[in-house]
Amino acid sequence: MKNYEDYVSHLAKIADVGNSIAVLSWDQEVMMPPKGAEKRAQQISTLAGIHHELSAQEDFGKLLEQLVKDNSLSDKQKRNVSESLTEFEKNNKYTTVFVQEMSKTVSQAFQAWNKAKKEDDFKLFEPYLEKLVKLKREECELLGYENHPYDALIDLYEPKTTVAELDVLFADVKNQLVDFVKQIADAPQNEDALMRQHYPKEKQLAFTELVLEKMGYDFEAGRQDISSHPFSTSFSPEDSRVTTRVSEEDLSEILWSSIHEGGHALYEQGLKVENYGLPAGTYLSLGMHESQSRLWENNVGRSLSFWKYFYPKLQEAFPDNLKNYSVVDFYKAMNIVQPSFIRTNADELTYHFHVLIRYEIEKELILGNIEVSDLPRVWNEKYKAYLNIDVPSDSKGVLQDIHWSHGSFGYFPTYSLGSFYAAQFFHKAQEQIENLEEKIEQGNYTELLDWLRTNIHQYGRLYSASELCERVTGEKLNFTYFMQYAKAKYEKLYALQATEKLITN
């Protein structure tokens, strides 16, 4: 068993370096002064090189090869070793020079993106993005692929998922969701003016911290800060942080950012600390991670049941703003379906058109059918085609997401996968947790969080996403559950069927 102990110790060391990079990256996006950018890029690049060397160390590979043949290991230990060997083989396809170059370019690109977005000028970001795309195309060749080079990048975030499979999934989005959204667009629209009043920043932050704490987020093992693009990051289950975005003139900005990122953080806090560094202590995939944030944000956080508990508390925080509005007014305002420019602010239905656009662009960009200089034009054309809106600026268009400045190509499809997993998981939770809706109305989320921790969080990467979905729900990912959820909710909200009654006060 000594060999296994050496393996655990080595993975903890790799995790320590990786989490040190994460701390520096968190600071870069939340607190770092502008003049720190150049040296921060150097610091992260240096640590990234060390991380890669530890991950691809020859002696570590030999240890894994010994352990994979060790029949004395438990099933859990064998799965840890198997996952680590797969990751080791992938890491060995990279050179240290490539890893350091990528890390340095990403740090520089992030600063350029931040400046370009503030000044609303894609040209400021373009040369850095061109370098990143060139590196990502090289990465596809380093990693290898069978059919489409983009498969290699998807696999980094959603292992064993391919363009061929995603094309089928997004065909479902086109064939089923597009027509349903058109039905909603033709119906009388609800109002969201109550969201667009002046809401003081500090009160918003205090309210969302109350919500996060009630959801089960442990502030002794995390914190909430502000960043230009909301995100969640974790250095261990005992230090999992969220950031949010605040607009004093739009309450919806912070509500969905905080609840969404809180869902991510609950997943990280639910991993077992004794598995630190091991596959069993690591999140399964980004699609699975997104399923946790979307379940809390949409299936729970945008429900009438959730706000029956929280709306009176929101009225206490903002009495002048909300005294003339009921909880149903608020529920209708938060669930308006209409085309918009910004993905993170999109409603839960048109959101998938935003993802579809990015997916189609990335595929062609990596293939070389689109170049970086084409991006503003292609982006704007697709927004007109899918959402019938004219993009007014780079900052509300091609510059809105942080992902490309991070080199995160292949990431966007996981957002839609997460929503579809979330609908399927929540459907099963409703079956297995008695009176779940009533518990949500009472502000009691303990059983739901326990269900998620028992069925999903505790396993880390001991199963594939497909295996875990089937283990939890009895079947593989099925888009039908998302459409059932969407229709049950929005047919009532928009009175799309004569037999359904519109929600009343």
pLDDT tens digits, 180-203: 998 998 999 999 999 999 999 999
The structure tokens listed for 150 are 């983009």
pLDDT tens for each residue of the chain, 505 residues long: 589 999 999 999 999 999 999 999 999 999 999 899 889 989 998 999 899 899 989 999 999 999 999 999 999 999 999 999 999 999 889 988 998 899 899 989 999 999 999 999 999 999 999 999 999 999 999 999 999 999 999 999 999 899 999 999 999 999 999 889 989 989 999 999 999 999 999 999 999 999 999 999 999 999 999 998 899 999 999 999 999 999 999 999 999 999 999 999 999 999 999 999 999 999 999 999 999 999 999 999 999 999 999 999 999 999 999 999 999 999 999 999 999 999 988 999 999 999 999 999 999 999 999 999 999 999 999 999 999 999 999 999 999 999 999 999 999 999 999 999 999 999 999 999 999 999 999 999 999 999 999 999 999 999 999 899 999 999 999 999 999 999 999 999 999 864 344 444 3
Burial class (CB in 10 A: 0-12, 13-18, 19+), 416: buried
237 near 269, Cβ under 8 Å?
yes
CA 441 to the chain's CA centroid:
26
Which stretches of 134-277 are assigned E, i.e. beta strand?
A: 224-226, 232-236, 239-244
The reported pLDDT for the residue numbered 80 is: 97
Q: Which domains does the chain have, with CATH numbers?
A: 2-144 (no CATH), 163-493 (1.10.1370.30)
Write the DSSP symbol of residue 396. T
Burial class (CB in 10 A: 0-12, 13-18, 19+), 147: exposed
Write the DSSP symbol of residue 343. G
Any idea which residue has 């150049």 for tokens?
A: 38
Spatial CA neighbour of 212 closest among 223, 203, 202, 201: 223
120 near 133, Cβ under 8 Å?
no
Any idea which residue has 């969302």 for tokens?
A: 208
Give the C-alpha distances (Å, rounded to integers) separating 410 from 303, 406, 449.
30, 12, 29
The reported pLDDT for the residue numbered 498 is: 40
The reported pLDDT for the residue numbered 242 is: 98
Any idea which residue has 């099963």 for tokens?
A: 428
The reported pLDDT for the residue numbered 500 is: 41
Report the C-alpha gap between 99 and 48 in whole angstroms: 7
The reported pLDDT for the residue numbered 83 is: 95
Query: Whole-angstrom distance between the N-terminal and C-terminal Cα of the chain?
Result: 64
Report the C-alpha gap between 186 and 254 in whole angstroms: 29
The reported pLDDT for the residue numbered 229 is: 81
Report the C-alpha gap between 34 and 236 in whole angstroms: 28
The reported pLDDT for the residue numbered 344 is: 81
Long-range Cβ contacts of 174-183 (<8 Å, 24+ apart): 174/356, 176/479, 176/483, 177/349, 177/352, 177/353, 177/483, 177/486, 178/353, 180/349, 180/483, 180/486, 180/487, 180/490, 181/337, 181/349, 181/350, 181/353, 183/494, 183/496
The secondary structure of 433-483 as a DSSP string is STTHHHHHHTT--HHHHHHHHHHTGGGTTSS-HHHHHHHHHSSS--THHHH
Report the C-alpha gap between 311 and 329 in whole angstroms: 11
The structure tokens listed for 504 are 């009343």
Report the C-alpha gap between 1 and 73 in whole angstroms: 8
Q: Is 113 left (phi over 0), alpha (psi -120 to 50) or beta?
A: alpha
CB crowding 346-374: b at 16 or more within 10 Å, else e: bbbbbbbbbbbbbbbbbbebbeeebebee
Residue 467 identity: E
The reported pLDDT for the residue numbered 1 is: 54
Say if strands 239-244 and 224-226 run parallel, antiparallel, or are unpaired: parallel
Q: Is 310 left (phi over 0), alpha (psi -120 to 50) or beta?
A: alpha
The reported pLDDT for the residue numbered 502 is: 40
* Residues taking part in catalysis: 261
Burial class (CB in 10 A: 0-12, 13-18, 19+), 249: exposed
The reported pLDDT for the residue numbered 341 is: 94
pLDDT tens track for 63-80 = 999 999 999 999 999 999
Report the C-alpha gap between 234 and 281 in whole angstroms: 12
Give the C-alpha distances (Å, rounded to integers) separating 402 from 89, 193, 231, 252, 473.
29, 29, 10, 20, 33
Bridge partners, residue 242, by sequence: 224, 232
Any idea which residue has 């990015």 for tokens?
A: 358
The reported pLDDT for the residue numbered 102 is: 94
Which stretches of 158-267 are assigned E, i.e. beta strand?
A: 224-226, 232-236, 239-244
The structure tokens listed for 441 are 């109305």
Give the C-alpha distances (Å, rounded to integers) separating 228 from 4, 69, 302.
42, 48, 23
225 near 30, Cβ under 8 Å?
yes
